[in-house]
Copies of this chain bind each other. A is one copy, B any other.
Amino acid sequence: MLKKPRNGNSAQHKYPHVGRTVSLASLSAHLGLSKASISRVLNGAPAARSIPQVTQDRILAAAQALNYRPNLLARSLRRGQSMTVGVLVPELSEGYATLVLAGLEETLSAAGYAMMLVTHHHQEAKLTDLHRIVMERAVDGIVAVDTSLPVIHSTPTVTISCPDPHDGVTNILLDHDRAAELALSHLYALGHRQIAIIKGQPFSSDTDIRWRSIQIAATRLGLSLHPKLVVQMKENLATDEPGFLAAQRLLATGIAFTAIFAFNDVSAIGAIRALQAARRQVPEHVSVVGFDDVTLAAYHRPALTTVRQPLRHMGALAAQSLLHSFTSGGNHEASHSVVVEPLFVLRNSTAQSPALSLQC
């Protein structure tokens, strides 16, 4: 950011043209017109209609020639909107957040908005801190991804996969009931009856709702989930280690199971690693279903059978919703939910239950 030298500053004539910000005032002096007229013309304000074309051309030419750039800080301050939205994200890891961001970015930048990005690593302290930072920067809106917000300010907000929806903020979320049903009924159809579940970490926003959906789907299928075959990941790591450890705990129970439904693709990969280390082949001995369908899933061997979450689309929807609330003047409708549908992706990490062939 360039700063025009203070008046008393002698640097002014030492470097006559360096650091010279060209502002409306410069243009005004140069053209002999008022800042007001120039601003109006440059912004195509309605009041500029009464300014003759020749003058308008003169202004535009001068702006071009002097390479005038409006200072968006000043504009934002005056207009009361900054054309910027703050994006809160747990971390910049592979897959999840990245895809959502891509969807957000596309839609927002097409509408002329810029993104201010902050991460909080699921740490409560950082979260309130960063939320404050975003607020102070006077963003026009906030998108919180996979984050449970401590408190909602009056800034328009939309959340993605938020576990505890707040009043007046629209929440984009997956149809978890359908997702669980897709995964479990697939395993059921393959003859699996002893299915283990790897739950997400306590801090992950999808954990609870996904687990509820799994229970519902299991009940509908007449499938009983052995309590000891339901383990939860604890570690706050962006690697496959939590899944690896969870699967090890499953194996340590000594209870037989022929399939695992993992919380996400990365933990599914960790689980497969643990199974292979214990000499159980996937999918021959144990089937594994992942979640999300991040890029990794397709390239892993065995390629992961998984439930795709349309992350990019969810980002785009969030952006649209936010943009809509800008134009519609922030009508505080009650908490609104947008539900998106999952897609089942069949690959090679699932197969017929070995228990089934034994029965034959």
Q: Is A138 interfacial (CB-CB < 8 Å)?
A: yes
CB-based contact A72/B138 at 8 Å: yes
Write out, one digit per residue, whether chain A residues 106-139 have a CB within 8 A of any chain B CB (1) or not (0).
0001000011111100000000001011111111
CB-based contact A136/B77 at 8 Å: no
Q: Please name all residues of chain B whose beta carbon is closer than 8 Å to the beta carbon of A3 when the two chains form the complex.
A: 80-81
Stretch at the interface among A27-35, A157-165, A220-228, A296-304: A296-304
CB-based contact B114/A116 at 8 Å: yes
Q: Please name all residues of chain B whose beta carbon is closer than 8 Å to the beta carbon of A116 when the two chains form the complex.
A: 84, 114-117
Q: Is A148 interfacial (CB-CB < 8 Å)?
A: no
Q: Please name all residues of chain B whose beta carbon is closer than 8 Å to the beta carbon of A84 when the two chains form the complex.
A: 116, 137
Most buried by B among A70, A98, A301: A98
CB-based contact B101/A92 at 8 Å: yes
Write out, one digit per residue, whether chain A residues 83-114 have a CB within 8 A of any chain B CB (1) or not (0).
01000000111110010011001000100001
Q: Is A140 interfacial (CB-CB < 8 Å)?
A: yes
Q: Is A189 interfacial (CB-CB < 8 Å)?
A: no
Other-chain contact of A137, B2, B105, B114 (Cβ < 8 Å): B114
CB-based contact B2/A154 at 8 Å: yes
CB within 8 Å of B: which of A169-225? none
CB-based contact B80/A71 at 8 Å: no
CB-based contact B109/A114 at 8 Å: no
Write out, one digit per residue, whether chain A residues 282-302 have a CB within 8 A of any chain B CB (1) or not (0).
000000000000111001110
- Knowing that A19-B154, A300-B300 touch, tell me 14 more A-B residue pairs with CB under 8 angstroms: A1-B76, A2-B80, A2-B155, A71-B77, A71-B138, A72-B138, A73-B82, A94-B98, A94-B294, A109-B119, A114-B118, A115-B116, A116-B116, A300-B301
